[in-house]
Each structure stands twice: as structure tokens, then as C-alpha cells.
């Protein structure tokens, strides 16, 4: 701990000198200056003052001409703000937002309830169908026996038996009608449950599979031992589109790029991972083939010239950058994603609108 604090002090000393052109200045005043600049940095990027964000901003401020500061400058060129994912890609230990025990328990309970309900519906539907079959057979047998009794008995006995039989047949037919209605209801409920399960795995804006569906697809291919390549794609300067033209236009851009990716990478899993980020899971092809497909999508997007519907005003160039990597045998999705994501940010730092592989 003491060694770490000493190193921090040395770094601060270097930062204090760099602020004033390498000349030593008043330590207290310079520390205040760094603190103020950190505050401005967090405010400009709309980042909360939590320990991770503060530590990242501190690393940028103490070495304003270092590689980290240059990478930040390249990413924020054109008014783009940093995100948590940017900080993670540049070396900040951010990770995903923590899931509270209550939220996790609610999620599992909800999934369990859906699965249990579906099993009950399926079992009920099978039971109803079996009951309908048995009831129909019983009614047919009863009618046949009534005919036999009528032919072999006297008129009075025959009439009595027929009255009883008719009443019983009426009850059987009524039960059949009720069971038929129940069967229709069970079938409709099963269809609605299937639709709900599908909606839970689909992005409502782009109609692409969502992150959950993507991770499930990866797990299925992993279990079968399939060869896979994973690409992470991110729209360049998307925040600038939203800030300049509004979120409605931004949504249309997301939909347009989603359509191109899905069309050009047909036969492979294309999903919206979150925000302006998409993932493509290639299976059954090698890196070269996956790269060709993704490059085709990137070139097609870059070639398009988007305009606003309302005014026909040009939207300007819209492009995306991507990172592509091959999954190793038995490698979990998180490891592969992080590697592809870092390649994506290399593509961003090197000028955007390009694909990096590794």
C-alpha cells in the first residue's frame, strides 16, 4: 500500500510539471487544477463521479500527451462522448452493472413461471385430447348398445332405455363441446406463450435477436463443438447523429444498418447487442469467409447516402467499425467478445469505418 501511494505521488509530481510546461509549480494549486480538469472531463462525457470513472479520468489528466489520452482524443473526435464500454476497452475495470440478488431472483422466478406454465398447458392439452377421444368412443359405443336393446326388447322397455340413453348422449355431446372449447383455449394459450418467449429474445426496434438470444445461440454451437467466428460492430459517431438529428433519426439509422447486416450475413446469427452495437456469430465458415461477408456489409453501409425523410436533408456519411475473431475450442462467449471488442476499438482508433481481425 505504501509503495502504491509513493508511485501515485510520483505520478502526480510528473503531472504537476506537465501542466506548467515542465516547470515545478505550487503543489496544492496544481492538485486543485487536476481535480478541476477531472471534473470537467467527467461532465463533458456525462460520466458519474464513481471511483472507476474518476480513476480513469485521473489517468488521462496526469499524462495529457500519453497513449491513453491520445486514444481518448481519437474516440471523442467530433463531439462523441465516452461510454462505460469505451472506458473498459481502454483499460478501465468497469464490467457489467451488478445484478442485485432481488433482481436476479425475480428474473429466475419469472423464467421458471413461464416454463412451468408452458408445461402445464402442454400437459392439459394432451389430457383434453385424450379425454375427447375416449368420450367420442364412449358415445359411439353407447349409441350402438341402445340400438341393440331397442331391437331385442319390448316397446315399453325400449322407450325407457331410449330416454335414458338419449339423456346420456346429450350429456356426452355437451361434454365434448366443452372439451373442444377448452382445447382451442389451450392451443391459443400455447401460441401466446411461444410468442412471449420469442419477444423476450428479440429487439423490438430492429426485429433482430437480442443479446440473450445471441448468447443462447453461442452456447448451443459451443455444446456441439462447432467452429465459430464472432464480430462486434459499432456505428461510428452515433451519438453525433442523435445529438444533431434526434433519436427518431438515430433509430432509423440503427434499423437500416441492422437490415444490411442481416441481409449480407444471411444464414448467420446477427443480433443487436445493445445501443449502437451489433454482434454477428458466424458458424461453419472460416475467418476469411466471415471477413468477406462482414466487409461486404461495411462497404454497402459506407456507400449509402442517407437523407432525412422530412426535409430530404443529407444525413452525412454513416459507417460502422468492426472487430472479428475466431472462438477457440471450448472458449466461453465472454472471452471471445472481449477480444473482438478490443479489435473493434483498434479499428476506431485507427480511423473508423474498417474491420480489424485477430
| Residues known to be catalytic | 276
Residue 312: strand, helix, or coil: coil
Residue 16 exposed, middle or buried by CB count within 10 Å (0-12, 13-18, 19+): buried
Rounded to an integer, what distance in angstroms lies between the CA atom of residue 120 and that of residue 114? 10
SS3 annotation, 36-91: HHHHHHHHHCCCCCCHHHHHHHHHHHHCCCCHHHHHHHHHCCCCCCCCHHHHHHCC
293, 315 Cβ separation under 8 angstroms: no
Alpha carbon 294 to chain centroid, angstroms:
19
Rounded to an integer, what distance in angstroms lies between the CA atom of residue 186 and that of residue 326? 45
Residue 347 exposed, middle or buried by CB count within 10 Å (0-12, 13-18, 19+): buried
271, 208 Cβ separation under 8 angstroms: yes
Burial 169-179 (b: 16+ CB within 10 A, else e): eeebeeebeeb
162, 146 Cβ separation under 8 angstroms: yes
Amino acid at each position: 500500500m505504501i509503495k502504491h501511494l509513493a508511485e501515485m505521488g510520483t505520478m502526480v509530481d510528473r503531472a504537476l510539471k506537465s501542466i506548467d510546461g515542465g516547470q515545478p509549480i505550487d503543489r496544492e494549486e496544481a492538485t486543485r487544477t487536476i481535480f478541476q480538469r477531472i471534473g470537467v472531463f467527467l461532465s463533458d462525457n456525462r460520466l458519474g463521479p464513481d471511483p472507476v470513472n474518476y480513476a480513469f479520468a485521473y489517468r488521462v489528466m496526469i499524462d495529457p500527451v500519453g497513449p491513453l489520452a491520445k486514444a481518448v482524443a481519437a474516440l471523442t473526435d467530433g463531439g462523441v462522448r465516452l461510454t462505460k464500454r469505451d472506458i473498459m476497452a481502454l483499460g478501465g475495470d468497469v464490467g457489467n452493472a451488478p445484478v442485485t440478488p432481488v433482481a436476479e431472483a425475480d428474473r429466475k422466478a419469472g423464467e421458471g413461471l413461464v416454463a412451468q406454465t408452458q408445461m402445464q398447458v402442454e400437459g392439459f392439452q394432451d389430457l383434453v385430447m385424450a379425454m375427447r377421444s375416449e368420450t367420442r368412443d364412449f358415445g359411439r359405443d353407447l349409441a350402438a348398445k341402445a340400438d341393440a336393446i331397442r331391437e331385442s326388447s319390448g316397446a315399453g322397455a325400449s322407450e325407457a332405455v331410449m330416454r335414458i340413453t338419449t339423456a346420456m348422449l346429450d350429456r356426452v355431446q355437451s361434454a365434448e363441446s366443452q372439451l373442444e372449447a377448452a382445447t382451442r383455449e389451450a392451443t391459443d394459450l400455447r401460441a401466446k406463450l411461444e410468442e412471449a418467449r420469442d419477444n423476450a429474445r428479440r429487439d423490438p426496434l430492429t426485429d433482430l435477436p437480442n443479446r440473450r438470444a445471441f448468447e443462447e445461440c453461442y452456447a448451443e454451437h459451443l455444446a456441439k463443438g462447432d467452429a465459430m467466428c464472432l464480430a462486434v460492430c459499432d456505428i461510428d459517431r452515433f451519438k453525433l447523429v442523435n445529438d444533431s438529428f434526434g433519436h427518431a433519426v438515430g433509430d432509423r439509422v440503427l434499423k437500416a444498418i441492422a437490415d444490411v447486416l442481416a441481409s449480407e450475413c444471411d444464414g448467420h446469427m446477427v443480433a443487436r447487442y445493445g445501443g449502437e452495437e451489433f454482434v454477428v456469430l458466424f458458424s461453419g465458415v472460416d475467418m476469411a469467409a466471415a471477413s468477406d461477408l462482414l466487409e461486404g456489409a461495411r462497404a454497402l453501409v459506407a456507400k449509402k447516402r442517407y437523407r432525412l425523410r422530412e426535409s430530404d436533408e443529407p444525413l452525412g456519411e454513416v459507417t460502422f467499425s468492426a472487430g472479428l475473431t475466431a472462438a477457440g475450442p471450448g472458449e466461453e462467449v465472454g472471452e471471445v467478445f472481449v477480444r473482438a471488442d478490443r479489435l473493434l476499438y483498434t479499428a476506431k482508433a485507427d480511423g473508423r469505418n474498417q474491420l480489424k481481425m485477430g
